Chains A and B, each alone.
Chain A
Amino acid sequence: MTTTPKARVAAFGLLIALAGTACASGASPSPASSGAALAGTITIDGSSTVYPITEAVAEDFQLANSGVRVPTSLSGTGGGFKKFCKGETDINDASRPIKADDDGEGKACATNNIEYVELQIAIDGLTVVVNPANTFATCLTVEELNRIYGPDSPRELKWSDVRAGFPAVAVNRFMPGADSGTFDYFTEVINGEVDAATQNATQSEDDNVLVTGVAGDANAISFFGYAYYAENSDKLKAIEVDGGSGCVAPTEATINDASYRPLSRPLFIYPDLGKAKARPELKAFVDFFLENTSALSAEVGYVALPADLLQKEKDEWAAAVGG
């Protein structure tokens, strides 16, 4: 092999140059700092359900404050809390409240002296869906949902077992994965215990898989966040839920006024209080979040918080972090 030394040097030089550009590019992407006072990096992790709202807020906040970077991840509510309580992130997105007695969550936060504030930023209506070809099921009670998704639900469940009068065809069950807050919330309110659920359902962390599964199977049933139903309402049929006071369909109105029970659930962010007191950009970000969450939640498919409830959250935040 006798490649000329010159060619070798040139190739090596090119590689170094490329590496240099790639590394140097990290320095400052937009020179237009517009004299903004705020600077820093705010790291956010947590629920994939809350993620679209956080993404929208982070996008607009960074447009307004070019000195602040807001990288966002989605490890799921539980995975996010584990990082949050180690002090690795500044804010955790959550689709359920923190588990105070969990080793990785509340206890870890206490051990590491991490104080937090729980702020509700939107409402989601867990929507139970079936295939549009399913004409018999229009409304299910909590008890009937428990028969489908409860831990004791038999492997060969037929629709006629759910309610007498339904046809004797198999119920093909789909549901979100066990790491999701959606799964935790549903099992808690329907089955009475977090994580207690049937082993006979197809689970997926990707809600689009659930949408596809139900859209292609006349006997299927699943549940997920309202945004996924709203985007796919042409392929799916939403089931009304009877929580003890009659059948209620999930709509923005019923989710908002909490008459869609018990599957309306709050969505939260958990800012690290200690860091927010010390870092003005983090405080400003949470202020910005609360100020814009209503408009942005609606834009990305969630139900905005009623004004009085939102004001309560703003007051709680202001009191906690201090003027």
Chain B
Amino acid sequence: MTVANPTAPPATPVAPRFEPALMRRKLTGTIFYGACLAAIGVLLLALTFLLIDVFRRGLPWLDLGFLSGVPSRRPANAGILPALVGSFQVGIFVAIFSFPLGVAAAIYLTEYAKDNWFNRLLQTNISNLAGVPSIIYGILGLALFVRLLGLGPTSLAAGLTMTLLILPVVIIASIEALKAVPDAQREGAYALGATRWQMVRGSIFPAAAPGIMTGLILAMARAIGEAAPLLLIGASVFVTFLPNPLEGSYTVLPIQVLQWASRPQADFQGISAAAIIVILALMLVLNGLALVVRARLSRHIQW
């Protein structure tokens, strides 16, 4: 019976070489904690200044008439309804196109594709595509959707272009979500005699759904906030009617912000800031939706 009494001095002396380093190690820990805190502080500070500035300029202009009105050369009469509807249409098209394409590609790459050099190359390239400047997708969209397929400068063409833009992000997020499902789930499904399709449909996809949906919604938020590609594929800046998604011109919120911000008159800077507040609100709604969807879908997952 040689169990040491906790109050008694240890049987073997603690190696003294750890003692001098203790203070330094604790100090290192504190410094790292401080650095992390400073990092988040810088972010919060920038965000706070941005928000205060935008709200200070934009809030006086933000009212129901602004949300339901159409653009005008007189800032007091100007509204953003066409841009809001345009952004909404683009967002819906992006969701409709990128969900099936992105999820199917991710399921293929994680569940079906063999782990060979070609598929690894494919996956690396998809990751690289996520880093391509968005203006490049605008050039592609202009050549492919607007001119070659003859869709013209419509919000449908914009939705397709934005789908290409966010598809890499959706695929990568979906792959990560699918990989996070433990292999025991797959093996369990096979053990019960499931085919690969049944395994994916009944076990893997539902388990990965929260992560997939979160990735999709966040990517959609990016598509709605993006202006550069749409400038190339022909979004107008002065649209006083609600856009028809299949023909004719449209505009979106970021384009409207950009145009108003570049006007010399101070009042246009004000309505530009008001439109930014509307975009921020839209983003907040989408991010909130991502949280809710994630919480709902993951309620029944337990392993």
Q: Which residues of A contact B198 (CB under 8 A)?
A: none
Q: Are B264 and A207 in contact (CB under 8 A)?
A: yes
B217-243 vs A, CB cutoff 8 Å, 1 = contact: the mask equals 000000000000001001111111111
Q: Are A29 and B242 in contact (CB under 8 A)?
A: yes
Q: Are A22 and B259 in contact (CB under 8 A)?
A: no
Q: Say whether B265 faces chain A, with CB atoms less than 8 Å apart.
A: yes
A21-55 vs B, CB cutoff 8 Å, 1 = contact: the mask equals 01101110110000000000101000010011011
Of the listed stretches A225-233, A254-262, A275-283, name the one at the interface; the rest are far from the partner chain.
Answer: A225-233
Size of A's binding interface in residues, CB under 8 A:
43
A32 and B209 CA atoms in complex are apart in Å by 47
> How many A-B contacts are there with CB distance less than 8 Å?
104
Q: Which residues of A contact B236 (CB under 8 A)?
A: 43, 71-73
A60 and B4 CA atoms in complex are apart in Å by 93
Q: Are B89 and A22 in contact (CB under 8 A)?
A: yes
The one of A59, A62, A69, A211 in contact with B264, judged by C-beta atoms closer than 8 angstroms, is A211
A2 and B206 CA atoms in complex are apart in Å by 9
How far in angstroms is the closest Cβ of chain B from A288? 15
Q: Are A41 and B262 in contact (CB under 8 A)?
A: no
The one of B73, B96, B207 in contact with A59, judged by C-beta atoms closer than 8 angstroms, is B73
Q: Are A22 and B264 in contact (CB under 8 A)?
A: no
A220-260 vs B, CB cutoff 8 Å, 1 = contact: the mask equals 00000001101110000000000000000000000000000
A54 and B244 CA atoms in complex are apart in Å by 23
Q: Are B238 and A206 in contact (CB under 8 A)?
A: no
Q: Are A301 and B264 in contact (CB under 8 A)?
A: yes
The one of A69, A75, A230 in contact with B248, judged by C-beta atoms closer than 8 angstroms, is A69
Of the listed stretches B12-20, B130-138, B295-303, name the one at the interface; the rest are far from the partner chain.
Answer: B295-303
Q: Are A208 and B264 in contact (CB under 8 A)?
A: yes
In this complex, what residue of A is CB-closest to B86? A22
Size of B's binding interface in residues, CB under 8 A:
42
In this complex, what residue of B is CB-closest to A58? B238
Q: Are B259 and A1 in contact (CB under 8 A)?
A: no
How far in angstroms is the closest Cβ of chain B from A7? 9
Q: Say whether B92 faces chain A, with CB atoms less than 8 Å apart.
A: yes
Q: Are B248 and A71 in contact (CB under 8 A)?
A: yes
Q: Are A23 and B248 in contact (CB under 8 A)?
A: no
Q: Are A41 and B265 in contact (CB under 8 A)?
A: no
Q: Say whether B85 faces chain A, with CB atoms less than 8 Å apart.
A: yes
A184 and B231 CA atoms in complex are apart in Å by 22
13 sample A-B contacts, Cβ–Cβ < 8 Å, listed by A number: A1-B209, A22-B88, A25-B242, A29-B242, A41-B249, A43-B249, A55-B73, A59-B73, A59-B238, A71-B248, A73-B249, A208-B263, A211-B264
Interface, chain B (partner A; CB < 8 A): 71-73, 85, 88-89, 92, 95-96, 206-207, 209, 231, 234-246, 248-251, 259, 261-266, 296-297, 299-301
Closest 5 CB pairs of A and B: A26-B244, A71-B249, A231-B264, A1-B206, A72-B238
